[in-house]
Amino acid sequence: MPLPRRNPFYPLLGIVGVVFTITAASYCLSVLRSVRPETAADRGSHPLERIMDRHGTAILTAELAMLAIATFGAIALDQAADERTKADRAEKQARLQSNAESEPDDGRGAP
């Protein structure tokens, strides 16, 4: 029996999921610092914080969309592979049944 093919969406989901987690944490930190500006007054803001202030919502939305697309792609590919496997098993069963019916019975029974 051949090995099942790997779903290419799984590594993509892992990578995008990790990036999304880091982005969400950075965005949360940015929001918390904007609520308490006295914590950021001592030091200048970090470039990542400035990016999150300007584009954080758009970045999170894009990453969430990528996660959704990759999730639906992984599900669709798994379902297609499952249907293909079921069809192959049914075809194999039909061939075995057809071969068993076409073999002549010599009356001696099974060997």
pLDDT in tens, 52-63: 889 999 999 999
Q: How far is CA 39 from CA 45, 47, 66, 90, in A?
A: 10, 16, 34, 66
Predicted pLDDT of residue 11:
93
Predicted TM-score (pTM) of the model is 0.69
Residue 54 in tokens: 């300007």
Identity (one letter) of the amino acid at 86? K
Rounded Cα–Cα distance for residues 10 and 78 (Å): 11
Mean per-residue pLDDT for 94-100? 79
Residue 13 in tokens: 């989901």
* Element containing residue 7 per DSSP (H, E): none
